[in-house]
Structure 1
Amino acid sequence: MFHQFYVSSKHRCYLRFLWWEQGDLESEPKEFQMKVHLFGAASSPGCANFGLKYLAHQQRSKFPSAAAFVENNFYVDDGLISVPTTNDATTLITEAQKLCKEGGLRLHKFNSNRSEVLDCVNPSERATSVVSADLKPDLTLTEHTLGMRWHVKSDCLGFYIDLRDKPDTRRGILSVIASLYDLLGFISPFIMNGKCILQDLCRRSIGWDDPLPEDLLVRWEKWKFSLQDVKGLMIQRCYHPQGFGKIVKTELNHFSDASSLAYGACSYLRFENDKGEIHCVLIMAKARVAPLKITTIPRLELTAAVVAARLSVLLKSELDMKIDTEFFWTDSQVVLSYINNEARRFHVFVANRVQIIRANTNPNQWNHVDTTENPADHASRGLCASEILTTNWLTDPEFLWVEERIPPEYFHLTKMACNSAQSKGK
């Protein structure tokens, strides 16, 4: 991608290099300048992206849908988008190729979960995996997309696990954990367990290459063994099943929780169609280990609520859909008291976080949920990889799957928390 964008002549002096003919280091080197952006320069990704977006802006009137695709759905050189029909997909592909051609760019390596979409694409412009699948029909068709595996035929997302031999040391543990790329947080409760082991090593001041203590070695071996289960995780890419029907209501539900080990938040989309059917799905989550400095559980719960509020801001800016209603859930009555209280000045730690929450959410959106039904409890306490699919982590709590989405007792508990806080001035 970088080589398709020229460098301004006045800036080429910053990309100078020396060249020895025939590799003869005894001869006098020649000095050259790169005319295009090169791989390895910190400026190349930004310059290439600017050029691509600038081209889309120039061609917006001629190719409106393709321009919107390039401006909003490209991540460096990868374009990812979902459209309702195959006709929409083929039209978008044709327009996007024409748009890029206007700037001398070649858009290729196309793939889709619908094989008929690729009929409009020359075989040489399709992804390499598509060509391999044509030659070997039994081959499992997968693509690496933003660090994750996309199983094309089943239209599911999976995870790439590279179990290279790493030493059982603090350095090796960090390398293995960092190699798990989970942008949306689908397996964050599992990764968090590994991070807790790493934090324990830091707490005990274990050196980078020192052998692990016996108790932590057992925990690490168990966690590393369960990495095999992560390979088998298959998560549906689409938010709702095919043929779900006309959606009449879309909700965002955010849950937060904390423990002495960690804190986190998870966000779910809840759809309701014209037949009254309901479908819920996890769309994003974050789990973080608790700080080494001892912090009270109420403060960690409040920090988790901040994570939920920030997830809300991010998702509303990124989701290309209308959100009708939004709810926030916590099992901490103290957090609800903090958020709804306007009569008392808090300490700096609490005041700053309450300010962030109130700036991005409405106190009326916050509700109480029982700990047993709070999926964020998994983010704060951790899960084995095999438990990801067997708990309510990916599917939301049961009470959101019924037509009466919010049980009356939860509103009652929230109201009690607010009244209690105001009467005591807390």
Structure 2
Amino acid sequence: MEPDKEVLVYALLDSQSDTTFILKDAAVTLGARKESVKLKVSTITSKTKVVNSQRVQGLQVRGISSDTKIKLPTTYTRDYIPANRSHIPTRTTAKSWPHLEHLADEMSPELDCEVGLLIGYNCPQALLPRDVISGNENQPYAQKSVLGWSIIGYSSTGVDYDHEDEIGVSHRIIIKKVQPATKAFTELKSEVHFVYRTQVKEMITPADILKVFEADFTEKFSEEVLISQEDIKFLVKLKEGIKQKPNGHYEMPLPFKEEKPSLPNNKVCAQHRLRCLGKRLKKDNQYHKDYVAFMEDIITRGDAEKVPESELNDRTTWYIPHHGVYHPQKPGKIRVVFDCSAKFQNTSLNEHLLTGPDLTNTLVGVLCRFRKGRVAIMCDVERMFHQFHVAPSDQDYLRFLWWERGDMEAPPSVFRMKVHLFGAASSPGCANFGLKHLAAEGEGKFSEATVRFIQRNFYVDDGLTSLDSEEEAIELVREARDLCNTGKLHLHKFITSNKKVLATIPKQELAEVVADLDMALGEHKMERALGVQWCISSDKFQFKVRVKDHPFTRRGVLSTVASIFDPLGFVAPIILKGKQILQRMCQDKVGWDEQLPDDLRPRWEAWLQDLHNLSLTKLTTIPRLELSAAVVATRSSDLLRREMKMEESSVLV
């Protein structure tokens, strides 16, 4: 048995990092078992770089004055852990604030050691606040975890943002390797603090490559849909709980796995996340403006409401952190996402919610029916998730903190969402269930074609269909709007290549791309139809691939091949050439960051040029059956016959 080893280092706790790191020198000194890996690290400025690392298992941590041990998750080594040493709170820090000076004796003395550990939120036990001591506004506060006390909000100097991934403050820890009879563990003694985000992803695995090779046939071909007991429970809860409110909106409960759970009070976690959000809002004026506008909009619309003072202390509550995400295809359009996966005391709201069966129509089926008739139509359900309300008894599970009217100088108020929201695991299933329920309610009141359109031709909130005549299309648009309106769903952003149909739709309900479109001038306006480029004037699918600059390496080849979205397989013969090059590199065991071999480089460059020429080719069909095995042909036949409602005699195999 080896003698015990100890290493004295500082540690820092990052409530927004999904990874735990240890200083490489510390891991070496401890003699911990390591496995070499490569990591892709994204810094707070969204820069990405590849670093060599080692995976370490079996580490433990405990406070410097505590006997309570915490097992760390899988930990990765780094040559250094960026941190500002001047931000480390000391006994002097505590004595500087009257409301914290009594903690001075519980703070460890300043030590001469390195920052050696970063604990991420994948170790929730380390983040769990046990006690909080707050002062007046704009004063630092102290927080106690199982690892000890820390002071948050104190900085002797400003953060130097020239260091792109510097990570705030840190505290002292002791790392100790102990050798039990059968398995070696590493013990760490530490104090903690919250810091900024560092995201880490492990490098590409063979499974990722297989996904690219098999990407041509990703839809579900079997007619048999397996329903689990949890799926049945989801459907029963919604069927029994859905009801239409006097204002027309449908209301559904949150589909909990069991009865309504009794969750811990996680308000302190939401407060911390709000402070982090506030820092970004103050640094980015445009982000602040867009965020406030979004929040004011959902409050004005009644999607969210301020919790009355008399209900603030209700026990059955849960607070949801939130953050803003910009749409990659729509610059300037922000959507606030509620993080229902955020954990507190080792639990989250999403862990208690049923997701339900997959009620989404198949992508291939919707796109095929979109190309079936002569007149093609697209539309969208406005703010679909928010049109389905949550039962009042469940709304306190959807609390969040926000500044009224965006005034960040005032204390944040407690709000709660009244609708199914982005970020909840149950929301897609609830929205799909609600849409199909609305369609079923329209049977006998609206035409079969309209009911079928709502039931089968929507992919989440995007509706795509095609009809054989202008008259049928005009009638379908009118009835579909009326049917959706019975449940307070607003169909808008209509797009069609037919001028006569276009003229019957109110201009305010048209998508911007066609509102000012002059078909007579032959304008070639493009629109995305479920991710596929659709030329409205010619009514054809087209492919215009914008290849990002990737290095000519195995990693770059995989990234380029995987970036081409072709759900119907129109350009499969061209993509196949790229996959062949990738396959050859895999067979030759070319390293991820090695340059393309000389014999493959000309083929790759020629293939990239072919991608740029895709938009010049009118590709309307492919020899899919010639490129596929007999089993794939049979599955494709079954899928098309089912989705297109064809008789067996009309299908050629």
Measured after TM superposition, the shift of residue 7 of structure 1 is 2.4
Cross-structure match for 2:31: none
Measured after TM superposition, the shift of residue 255 of structure 1 is 7.2
Match of 1:37 among 420, 433, 444: 420
Q: Secondary structure at the match of 1:206?
A: coil
Unaligned runs of 5+ in 1: 238-253, 258-263, 266-303, 329-426
State whether residues 160 and 180 of structure 1, in contact with CA within 8 Å, keep that contact through their aligned partners in structure 2. no
Q: Secondary structure at the match of 1:162?
A: coil
State whether residues 519 and 537 of structure 2, in contact with CA within 8 Å, keep that contact through their aligned partners in structure 1. no
State whether residues 194 and 220 of structure 1, in contact with CA within 8 Å, keep that contact through their aligned partners in structure 2. yes
Q: Identify if the C-alpha distance between structure 1 residues 90 and 135 changes in structure 2 by more than 3 Å, giving closer, same or farther.
A: closer
Match of 1:315 among 635, 640, 649: 640
What is the letter of the counterpart of residue 640 of structure 2? Answer: L
What is the letter of the counterpart of residue 574 of structure 2? Answer: F
Match of 2:497 among 98, 113, 121: 113
Q: How does 1:373-412 map to 2 (within 5 A)?
A: none
Match of 2:613 among 213, 223, 229: 229
Q: 1:6 aligned to 2:331? A: no
State whether residues 522 and 537 of structure 2, in contact with CA within 8 Å, keep that contact through their aligned partners in structure 1. no
Distance 2:619 2:394 in 1: 46
Measured after TM superposition, the shift of residue 102 of structure 1 is 0.5
Q: Secondary structure at the match of 1:153?
A: coil
Measured after TM superposition, the shift of residue 62 of structure 1 is 0.6
State whether residues 197 and 216 of structure 1, in contact with CA within 8 Å, keep that contact through their aligned partners in structure 2. yes
Cross-structure match for 2:568: 184
Query: What is the aligned-residue RMSD (CA, Å)?
Result: 2.7
Cross-structure match for 1:214: 598
Q: Identify if the C-alpha distance between structure 1 residues 135 and 30 changes in structure 2 by more than 3 Å, giving closer, same or farther.
A: farther
Percent identity between the aligned chains? 45
Instruction: Encode CA deviations 1:236-277: one digit per residue, 9 max, x unaligned.
Output: 59xxxxxxxxxxxxxxxx9745xxxxxx42xxxxxxxxxxxx
Q: Secondary structure at the match of 2:533?
A: strand
Distance 1:33 1:206 in 2: 53
Q: How does 1:291-306 map to 2 (within 5 A)?
A: 304-306=629-631
Q: 1:103 aligned to 2:519? A: no
Measured after TM superposition, the shift of residue 94 of structure 1 is 0.3
Of Structure 1 and Structure 2, the greater strand share is in 2
Cross-structure match for 2:438: 55
Q: Identify if the C-alpha distance between structure 1 residues 72 and 207 changes in structure 2 by more than 3 Å, giving closer, same or farther.
A: same
What is the letter of the counterpart of residue 203 of structure 1? Answer: Q
Measured after TM superposition, the shift of residue 57 of structure 1 is 0.6
Instruction: Encode CA deviations 1:340-390: one digit per residue, 9 max, x unaligned.
Output: xxxxxxxxxxxxxxxxxxxxxxxxxxxxxxxxxxxxxxxxxxxxxxxxxxx
Q: Secondary structure at the match of 2:495?
A: coil
Measured after TM superposition, the shift of residue 32 of structure 1 is 3.0
Match of 1:80 among 457, 464, 472: 464
Distance 1:42 1:160 in 2: 34
Cross-structure match for 1:128: 512
Q: Secondary structure at the match of 1:81?
A: strand
Q: Identify if the C-alpha distance between structure 1 residues 236 and 223 changes in structure 2 by more than 3 Å, giving closer, same or farther.
A: closer
Instruction: Encode CA deviations 1:365-420: one digit per residue, 9 max, x unaligned.
Output: xxxxxxxxxxxxxxxxxxxxxxxxxxxxxxxxxxxxxxxxxxxxxxxxxxxxxxxx
Q: How does 1:200-349 map to 2 (within 5 A)?
A: 200-235=584-619, 256=625, 264-265=627-628, 304-328=629-653
Q: Identify if the C-alpha distance between structure 1 residues 18 and 186 changes in structure 2 by more than 3 Å, giving closer, same or farther.
A: same
Measured after TM superposition, the shift of residue 24 of structure 1 is 4.8
Distance 1:138 1:314 in 2: 36
State whether residues 524 and 538 of structure 2, in contact with CA within 8 Å, keep that contact through their aligned partners in structure 1. no
Cross-structure match for 1:372: none
Total equivalences in the alignment? 267
Q: Secondary structure at the match of 1:210?
A: coil
Distance 2:595 2:415 in 1: 50
Instruction: Encode CA deviations 1:258-313: one digit per residue, 9 max, x unaligned.
Output: xxxxxx42xxxxxxxxxxxxxxxxxxxxxxxxxxxxxxxxxxxxxx1111111111
Measured after TM superposition, the shift of residue 235 of structure 1 is 4.4
Q: Secondary structure at the match of 1:185?
A: coil
Cross-structure match for 2:545: 161
Distance 1:89 1:77 in 2: 19
State whether residues 571 and 619 of structure 2, in contact with CA within 8 Å, keep that contact through their aligned partners in structure 1. no
Q: What TM-score results when the alignment is normalised by the length of structure 2?
A: 0.38
Distance 2:549 2:407 in 1: 37
Distance 2:599 2:551 in 1: 17
Distance 1:175 1:68 in 2: 39
What is the letter of the counterpart of residue 228 of structure 1? Answer: H
Measured after TM superposition, the shift of residue 224 of structure 1 is 0.8
Q: Which has the larger radius of gyration?
A: 2
Cross-structure match for 2:451: 67
Distance 2:413 2:590 in 1: 51
Measured after TM superposition, the shift of residue 127 of structure 1 is 1.7
Q: Secondary structure at the match of 2:599?
A: helix
Distance 2:454 2:634 in 1: 29
Cross-structure match for 2:534: 150
Q: Identify if the C-alpha distance between structure 1 residues 33 and 92 changes in structure 2 by more than 3 Å, giving closer, same or farther.
A: same
Distance 1:135 1:93 in 2: 20
Measured after TM superposition, the shift of residue 162 of structure 1 is 2.0
What is the letter of the counterpart of residue 94 of structure 1? Answer: R
Unaligned runs of 5+ in 2: 1-383
Q: How does 1:344-355 map to 2 (within 5 A)?
A: none
Q: Identify if the C-alpha distance between structure 1 residues 80 and 320 changes in structure 2 by more than 3 Å, giving closer, same or farther.
A: farther
State whether residues 148 and 160 of structure 1, in contact with CA within 8 Å, keep that contact through their aligned partners in structure 2. no
Q: Secondary structure at the match of 1:214?
A: coil
Distance 2:645 2:631 in 1: 23
Q: Identify if the C-alpha distance between structure 1 residues 136 and 165 changes in structure 2 by more than 3 Å, giving closer, same or farther.
A: farther
Q: Identify if the C-alpha distance between structure 1 residues 236 and 85 changes in structure 2 by more than 3 Å, giving closer, same or farther.
A: farther
What is the letter of the counterpart of residue 435 of structure 2? Answer: L
Measured after TM superposition, the shift of residue 20 of structure 1 is 4.9
Measured after TM superposition, the shift of residue 131 of structure 1 is 1.8
Instruction: Encode CA deviations 1:50-73: one digit per residue, 9 max, x unaligned.
Output: 111110111111113211110011
Cross-structure match for 1:89: 473
Q: 1:171 aligned to 2:496? A: no
Measured after TM superposition, the shift of residue 197 of structure 1 is 1.6
Of Structure 1 and Structure 2, the greater helix share is in 1
State whether residues 436 and 454 of structure 2, in contact with CA within 8 Å, keep that contact through their aligned partners in structure 1. yes
Q: Secondary structure at the match of 1:167?
A: coil
Q: Identify if the C-alpha distance between structure 1 residues 230 and 135 changes in structure 2 by more than 3 Å, giving closer, same or farther.
A: closer
Q: What TM-score results when the alignment is normalised by the length of structure 1?
A: 0.57
Measured after TM superposition, the shift of residue 136 of structure 1 is 10
Cross-structure match for 1:139: 523
What is the letter of the counterpart of residue 93 of structure 1? Answer: V
State whether residues 56 and 70 of structure 1, in contact with CA within 8 Å, keep that contact through their aligned partners in structure 2. yes
Q: 1:195 aligned to 2:563? A: no
State whether residues 15 and 33 of structure 1, in contact with CA within 8 Å, keep that contact through their aligned partners in structure 2. yes
What is the letter of the counterpart of residue 581 of structure 2? Answer: I
State whether residues 97 and 107 of structure 1, in contact with CA within 8 Å, keep that contact through their aligned partners in structure 2. yes
